[in-house]
Amino acid sequence: MQPLVSIIVPTFNESINVLEASLKSLFKQTFRNFECIVVDDSTDLALADFCKQLCLQDSRFIYVKQPNRLGLAASLNLALQKARGDWVARFDADDICMPDRLAQQIEFLSKNKDIDVLGGAVEIVDDSLNRLGFKFYPKAHNDIIKKSHFINPLAHPTVMFKRDLVLNLGGYDTTFKYAEDLELWLRLINKGIKFANLDKILIQYRQSTLNRAHVNWRFNLKARIKNFKLNYFIRRVSGIVMIGCWAFLPKKIYEFIYKALMLRPQ
Protein backbone atom coordinates (compact mmCIF):
# COMPACT_ATOMS: atom_id res chain seq x y z
CA MET A 1 0.00 0.00 0.00
CA GLN A 2 1.29 3.44 -0.91
CA PRO A 3 1.82 5.56 2.21
CA LEU A 4 0.05 8.88 2.61
CA VAL A 5 2.99 10.38 4.51
CA SER A 6 6.73 10.01 3.99
CA ILE A 7 8.79 11.01 7.03
CA ILE A 8 12.31 12.07 6.02
CA VAL A 9 14.99 11.86 8.69
CA PRO A 10 18.64 12.82 8.12
CA THR A 11 21.09 11.55 10.71
CA PHE A 12 24.79 12.08 11.35
CA ASN A 13 26.69 10.26 14.10
CA GLU A 14 23.85 10.48 16.61
CA SER A 15 24.55 8.55 19.82
CA ILE A 16 22.80 5.22 20.27
CA ASN A 17 20.54 6.41 23.08
CA VAL A 18 19.48 9.58 21.29
CA LEU A 19 18.84 7.86 17.96
CA GLU A 20 16.91 5.01 19.55
CA ALA A 21 14.62 7.37 21.47
CA SER A 22 14.04 9.45 18.37
CA LEU A 23 13.19 6.68 15.91
CA LYS A 24 11.14 4.73 18.45
CA SER A 25 8.97 7.82 18.93
CA LEU A 26 8.06 7.33 15.26
CA PHE A 27 7.32 3.64 15.81
CA LYS A 28 4.64 4.77 18.29
CA GLN A 29 2.76 7.18 16.01
CA THR A 30 -1.00 6.72 16.26
CA PHE A 31 -1.25 7.50 12.55
CA ARG A 32 0.02 4.36 10.84
CA ASN A 33 -0.05 4.99 7.09
CA PHE A 34 3.48 6.29 6.68
CA GLU A 35 6.93 5.33 5.52
CA CYS A 36 10.10 6.69 7.10
CA ILE A 37 13.20 7.30 5.00
CA VAL A 38 16.33 7.57 7.13
CA VAL A 39 19.33 8.97 5.26
CA ASP A 40 22.39 8.12 7.32
CA ASP A 41 25.39 10.41 6.74
CA SER A 42 27.31 8.96 9.69
CA THR A 43 31.06 8.44 9.52
CA ASP A 44 31.06 6.19 12.60
CA LEU A 45 30.42 2.71 11.21
CA ALA A 46 29.21 1.30 14.53
CA LEU A 47 26.59 4.03 14.85
CA ALA A 48 25.60 3.55 11.21
CA ASP A 49 25.13 -0.17 11.76
CA PHE A 50 23.03 0.46 14.86
CA CYS A 51 20.83 2.85 12.86
CA LYS A 52 20.40 0.26 10.11
CA GLN A 53 19.45 -2.49 12.59
CA LEU A 54 16.98 -0.16 14.29
CA CYS A 55 15.28 0.58 10.97
CA LEU A 56 14.96 -3.15 10.28
CA GLN A 57 12.67 -3.45 13.32
CA ASP A 58 9.82 -1.76 11.41
CA SER A 59 8.99 -2.61 7.79
CA ARG A 60 7.87 0.98 7.14
CA PHE A 61 11.43 2.23 7.66
CA ILE A 62 13.82 2.56 4.73
CA TYR A 63 17.51 2.88 5.55
CA VAL A 64 19.68 4.78 3.04
CA LYS A 65 23.47 5.07 3.24
CA GLN A 66 25.56 6.62 0.49
CA PRO A 67 29.29 5.87 -0.02
CA ASN A 68 30.24 9.52 0.50
CA ARG A 69 28.97 12.20 2.85
CA LEU A 70 26.14 14.26 1.41
CA GLY A 71 25.52 17.03 3.91
CA LEU A 72 22.11 17.96 5.30
CA ALA A 73 20.43 19.60 2.28
CA ALA A 74 21.56 16.88 -0.14
CA SER A 75 20.43 14.18 2.31
CA LEU A 76 16.98 15.78 2.46
CA ASN A 77 16.81 15.97 -1.33
CA LEU A 78 17.74 12.30 -1.65
CA ALA A 79 15.00 11.38 0.81
CA LEU A 80 12.53 13.58 -1.08
CA GLN A 81 13.32 11.79 -4.32
CA LYS A 82 12.71 8.40 -2.70
CA ALA A 83 9.51 9.51 -0.92
CA ARG A 84 6.22 8.01 -2.15
CA GLY A 85 3.75 9.82 0.10
CA ASP A 86 1.69 12.79 -1.05
CA TRP A 87 2.83 14.53 2.13
CA VAL A 88 6.37 14.75 3.45
CA ALA A 89 6.99 15.17 7.19
CA ARG A 90 10.34 16.46 8.36
CA PHE A 91 11.92 15.12 11.53
CA ASP A 92 15.38 15.17 13.09
CA ALA A 93 17.19 12.17 14.50
CA ASP A 94 17.78 13.80 17.90
CA ASP A 95 14.21 14.96 18.63
CA ILE A 96 11.21 13.17 20.13
CA CYS A 97 7.94 13.01 18.20
CA MET A 98 4.69 13.26 20.12
CA PRO A 99 2.58 10.11 19.51
CA ASP A 100 -0.23 12.00 17.78
CA ARG A 101 1.97 14.41 15.79
CA LEU A 102 1.18 12.93 12.36
CA ALA A 103 -2.47 12.32 13.23
CA GLN A 104 -2.98 15.95 14.26
CA GLN A 105 -1.37 17.29 11.11
CA ILE A 106 -3.24 14.98 8.73
CA GLU A 107 -6.53 15.79 10.45
CA PHE A 108 -5.91 19.52 10.03
CA LEU A 109 -4.83 19.18 6.41
CA SER A 110 -7.85 17.06 5.54
CA LYS A 111 -10.07 19.92 6.76
CA ASN A 112 -7.97 22.73 5.24
CA LYS A 113 -7.31 21.73 1.64
CA ASP A 114 -5.74 25.09 0.77
CA ILE A 115 -2.75 24.60 3.09
CA ASP A 116 0.48 23.44 1.44
CA VAL A 117 2.93 23.65 4.35
CA LEU A 118 2.02 22.95 7.99
CA GLY A 119 4.21 23.25 11.08
CA GLY A 120 3.62 23.31 14.81
CA ALA A 121 4.91 24.24 18.24
CA VAL A 122 7.82 22.63 20.07
CA GLU A 123 8.90 21.89 23.61
CA ILE A 124 12.55 22.94 23.96
CA VAL A 125 14.58 20.43 25.97
CA ASP A 126 18.25 20.01 26.80
CA ASP A 127 20.37 16.96 25.99
CA SER A 128 18.88 15.12 28.99
CA LEU A 129 15.30 16.00 27.94
CA ASN A 130 14.88 18.51 30.76
CA ARG A 131 12.34 21.12 29.72
CA LEU A 132 13.68 24.59 28.95
CA GLY A 133 10.44 26.09 27.69
CA PHE A 134 7.97 26.11 24.79
CA LYS A 135 8.17 27.80 21.44
CA PHE A 136 5.02 28.67 19.49
CA TYR A 137 4.84 30.04 15.98
CA PRO A 138 2.33 32.28 14.15
CA LYS A 139 -0.71 30.19 13.18
CA ALA A 140 -2.38 31.95 10.26
CA HIS A 141 -0.87 32.35 6.80
CA ASN A 142 -0.78 36.15 6.81
CA ASP A 143 0.88 36.24 10.23
CA ILE A 144 3.47 33.71 9.06
CA ILE A 145 4.29 35.91 6.05
CA LYS A 146 4.67 39.00 8.26
CA LYS A 147 6.89 37.20 10.78
CA SER A 148 9.02 35.60 8.04
CA HIS A 149 10.68 38.97 7.38
CA PHE A 150 12.22 38.90 10.87
CA ILE A 151 12.31 35.30 12.12
CA ASN A 152 12.09 31.75 10.85
CA PRO A 153 8.29 31.27 11.07
CA LEU A 154 8.29 27.46 11.18
CA ALA A 155 10.09 24.78 13.21
CA HIS A 156 11.72 22.66 10.52
CA PRO A 157 11.40 19.23 12.21
CA THR A 158 7.65 19.77 12.73
CA VAL A 159 6.84 20.66 9.14
CA MET A 160 4.66 18.64 6.77
CA PHE A 161 4.47 19.74 3.13
CA LYS A 162 3.25 18.56 -0.27
CA ARG A 163 6.00 16.42 -1.79
CA ASP A 164 5.46 17.37 -5.44
CA LEU A 165 5.27 21.05 -4.63
CA VAL A 166 8.76 21.13 -3.10
CA LEU A 167 10.25 18.74 -5.67
CA ASN A 168 8.94 20.86 -8.54
CA LEU A 169 10.62 23.92 -7.03
CA GLY A 170 13.98 22.16 -6.84
CA GLY A 171 13.97 20.88 -3.27
CA TYR A 172 16.47 22.21 -0.76
CA ASP A 173 19.30 24.46 -1.96
CA THR A 174 22.48 22.44 -1.37
CA THR A 175 24.62 25.59 -1.23
CA PHE A 176 23.09 26.24 2.21
CA LYS A 177 25.01 24.48 4.99
CA TYR A 178 22.74 26.25 7.50
CA ALA A 179 19.30 27.91 7.22
CA GLU A 180 18.35 25.56 4.37
CA ASP A 181 14.83 25.47 5.78
CA LEU A 182 14.45 29.26 5.93
CA GLU A 183 15.69 29.53 2.35
CA LEU A 184 13.02 27.04 1.25
CA TRP A 185 10.23 28.83 3.15
CA LEU A 186 11.18 32.21 1.66
CA ARG A 187 11.28 30.70 -1.82
CA LEU A 188 7.85 29.14 -1.31
CA ILE A 189 6.46 32.41 0.07
CA ASN A 190 7.56 34.18 -3.11
CA LYS A 191 5.59 31.58 -5.09
CA GLY A 192 2.39 32.27 -3.14
CA ILE A 193 2.36 28.95 -1.29
CA LYS A 194 -0.11 28.74 1.64
CA PHE A 195 1.27 28.15 5.16
CA ALA A 196 -0.13 27.38 8.62
CA ASN A 197 1.10 26.31 12.06
CA LEU A 198 -0.72 24.25 14.66
CA ASP A 199 -0.87 25.79 18.12
CA LYS A 200 0.04 22.39 19.58
CA ILE A 201 3.29 20.79 20.74
CA LEU A 202 4.35 18.30 18.06
CA ILE A 203 7.89 17.42 19.16
CA GLN A 204 10.45 17.69 21.92
CA TYR A 205 13.24 19.68 20.33
CA ARG A 206 16.73 19.09 21.69
CA GLN A 207 18.72 22.31 21.98
CA SER A 208 21.97 22.02 23.86
CA THR A 209 22.51 25.80 23.76
CA LEU A 210 20.22 28.76 23.22
CA ASN A 211 22.91 30.52 21.19
CA ARG A 212 23.24 30.30 17.43
CA ALA A 213 26.65 30.19 15.74
CA HIS A 214 27.57 33.30 13.76
CA VAL A 215 27.79 31.20 10.59
CA ASN A 216 24.09 30.35 11.00
CA TRP A 217 23.20 34.04 10.93
CA ARG A 218 25.33 34.56 7.83
CA PHE A 219 23.33 31.89 6.00
CA ASN A 220 20.13 33.42 7.37
CA LEU A 221 21.12 36.70 5.70
CA LYS A 222 22.12 34.87 2.53
CA ALA A 223 18.66 33.25 2.36
CA ARG A 224 16.93 36.62 2.71
CA ILE A 225 19.11 38.34 0.13
CA LYS A 226 18.73 35.46 -2.35
CA ASN A 227 14.93 35.59 -2.09
CA PHE A 228 14.57 39.36 -1.83
CA LYS A 229 11.56 40.80 -3.68
CA LEU A 230 10.25 44.35 -3.86
CA ASN A 231 6.90 43.49 -2.31
CA TYR A 232 6.93 44.09 1.47
CA PHE A 233 10.05 46.18 0.68
CA ILE A 234 10.30 48.04 4.00
CA ARG A 235 9.70 44.91 6.08
CA ARG A 236 12.19 42.86 4.10
CA VAL A 237 14.90 45.52 4.37
CA SER A 238 14.15 45.97 8.07
CA GLY A 239 14.43 42.21 8.58
CA ILE A 240 17.81 42.07 6.85
CA VAL A 241 19.10 44.96 8.98
CA MET A 242 17.75 43.35 12.16
CA ILE A 243 19.31 39.96 11.39
CA GLY A 244 22.59 41.68 10.56
CA CYS A 245 22.58 43.36 13.99
CA TRP A 246 21.37 40.20 15.74
CA ALA A 247 24.35 38.26 14.37
CA PHE A 248 26.79 40.45 16.29
CA LEU A 249 25.06 40.50 19.66
CA PRO A 250 27.12 39.12 22.57
CA LYS A 251 25.99 35.59 23.41
CA LYS A 252 24.64 36.48 26.86
CA ILE A 253 22.46 39.28 25.48
CA TYR A 254 21.20 37.04 22.67
CA GLU A 255 20.32 34.30 25.14
CA PHE A 256 18.47 36.78 27.41
CA ILE A 257 16.40 38.16 24.51
CA TYR A 258 15.69 34.66 23.18
CA LYS A 259 14.37 33.51 26.56
CA ALA A 260 12.37 36.69 27.14
CA LEU A 261 10.75 37.07 23.72
CA MET A 262 10.70 33.68 22.04
CA LEU A 263 10.27 31.05 24.74
CA ARG A 264 7.21 30.55 26.87
CA PRO A 265 8.19 29.61 30.42
CA GLN A 266 7.91 26.07 31.75
Residue 235 pLDDT grade (very low, low, confident, very high; cuts 50, 70, 90): confident
For each of the domains in the chain, give its residue range(s) and CATH number, in order of start: 5-262 (3.90.550.10)
Q: Tell me the C-alpha distance between 17 and 13, whole Å.
A: 12
Least confident of 21-35, 73-87, 172-186, 216-230: 216-230
Q: Which string of DSSP letters, residue by residue, matches 106-137?
A: HHHHHH-TT-SEEEEEEEEE-TT--EEEEE--
Span 1-19, average pLDDT? 96
Three-state DSSP state, 178:
coil
Q: Check if the beta carbon of residue 200 is closer than 8 Å to that of residue 158.
A: no
pLDDT attached to residue 256: 62
What is the CB-side half-sphere exposure of residue 86 using CA atoms within 13 A? 8
Confidence of residue 254 (pLDDT cuts 50, 70, 90): low
Residue 212: the pLDDT is: 62
Rounded to two decimals, what is the model's pTM? 0.91
For the chain, give the mean pLDDT: 91
* pLDDT tens digits, 170-226: 999 999 999 999 999 999 999 999 999 999 999 999 987 655 666 887 888 899 999
**Residue 262 in this model has a pLDDT that exceeds 80:** no
The answer to whether residue 266 scores a pLDDT higher than 80 is: no
